[in-house]
Amino acid sequence: MKAHGYILLLGFFTAFVVVLFTMPSLIKVARMKHLVDEPSEERKLHQRSIPTIGGIIIFAAIIFSYSLWFPQASSAGHTLEGFRALYMEMGEAYKDFKFVIAAMVLLFFIGVKDDIIGFSPVKKLVGHVIVAYILVVMGDIRIRDMHGIFGLYELPREISIAFSFFTYIVLVNAFNLIDGVDGLAGGIGLISALAYGFWLYWAGDVALSLLAFTLAGSLVGFLVFNIHPARIFMGDSGSLIIGAIVSVLAMRVVDHDVSRLPHWLRTVPTPLFAMAVIAYPLVDTFRVFVVRTARGVSPFSADRNHIHHRLMALGLGHRGTTAVLYLYAIGIIALSLITRDILPNKGLLVLGTTALVLAMLPFAISNRRTG
């Protein structure tokens, strides 16, 4: 397994270099063609026009690097035994490859159209349903077992498919919703990709780990241009790709074979680890949906009620806000490892309560100041 680690480094570095050296040209073209986001709405936090199609380069870097370095049978030798050994090492990833690529291409065009000329919510939902069908039904990338969470174990096929559809839709929208502060969505996506990437590598799944590391490399390159003051935004073309890849990685982690993991990591319930990695976008999305519904407005309506908005209102600024939320994301992941020996439902209670309480602190502090 360790011999294949160089593939991950090559994938990461290739994606990083592609973004680093091509993004300046995209920024220039976007400004020339006026493909920018104007600070015309009160909820927007930037004060100048900024290009919004950074996801084009993120997508290109991932596709190029993932396809270029995807492990081949030659990596294990030219013998039949070597090929079989590598095939077992890759698990379901060979089959995943074509469905992930197909889904990403479709999502890319949905995102670009939305970034440039807009996309009606109904048409966008239809597109997401098609992508979910490709991944969950055709690719069979789904959650099959809850491993004792809420007393549930193996799920019936119909429930498994419906729950996996829901997981995909929630995560894609969650990463889209947190893309409101310079460096936030890219940084949270980077943390998630690295966490899943290392876990999958240690679990013996080099191919899926490569997908995570190419995403991570592209986001490191993107953050060079997106950290405050941002020179470009990722737009829907970027956030949808991040959400889709993270959803694939999360669902694969939940049902993955853990026999190759180090012992200290093997005892962490896979659903808890998968949820801990994406705790911030999940908690923020859940909270804003509940608040909006309680106020009698559409849960999809835009407002300034996200956690990052409240941290900005406390005077932390873009960099302070992203730093706090990066620490939040890393802290919840660390907590899932610290509590690894707790029974699944107790672990979920600890993680969920901690994540919600920490997420509500900015609102409590803000309300106390204004009160």
- State pLDDT tens for residues 142-171: 999 988 888 888 999 999 999 999 999 999
Compare 368 and 365 and report the one with higher pLDDT.
Answer: 365
pLDDT above 50: residue 76: no
Q: Which amino acid is at 75?
A: S
Specify whether the CB–CB gap between 198 and 19 falls below 8 A.
no
Give the tokens for residue 315.
């005077």
Sequence ranges of the domains in the chain: 2-370
The label of the residue with tokens 């941002």 reads 230
Nearest residue to 165 (alpha-carbon basis) of 186, 189, 139: 139
Can you say whether residue 179 is alpha, beta or left, with left for phi > 0 and alpha for psi between -120 and 50 degrees?
A: beta
| 267 against 13, higher pLDDT | 13
**Under 8 Å between Cβ of 18 and 65:** yes
Please tell me the distance from the alpha carbon of residue 285 to that of residue 281, in angstroms, as a whole number. Answer: 6
Q: Say what percent of the chain tops pLDDT 90.
A: 54
pTM: 0.91
H helix or E strand, kind and range, residue 222: helix 206-226
End-to-end CA distance of the chain: 57
**Worst-scoring range by mean pLDDT, 79-93, 161-175, 326-340?**
79-93
Triad 191, 194, 196: Cα angle to 5°: 105
Tokens 């993955």 correspond to 256
Whether the predicted pLDDT of 240 surpasses 80: yes
> By the 8 A CB rule, do 335 and 351 touch?
yes
Contact (Cβ atoms closer than 8 angstroms) between residue 239 and residue 176 = yes
Phi, psi torsion values for 182, nearest 5 degrees: -55, 125
Cα–Cα distance measured from residue 119 to residue 130, given in angstroms and rounded to the nearest whole number:
16
Whether residue 51 has a cis bond before it, omega within 30° of 0: no
For the beta carbon of residue 289, count every other beta carbon within 10 angstroms.
16
Interatomic CA distance for residues 27 and 25, integer angstroms: 5
Please provide residue 263's backbone torsions phi and psi, each rounded to the nearest 5 degrees.
-60, -40
Q: How confident is the model at residue 371 (pLDDT cuts 50, 70, 90)?
A: low
Buried b (16+ CB within 10 A) or exposed e, 23-51: beebbeebeeeebbbeeeeeeebbeeebb
Most confident of 75-84, 86-95, 183-192: 183-192
Q: What is the mean pLDDT of the chain?
A: 86
Indicate the pLDDT class of residue 73, thresholds 50, 70 and 90: low
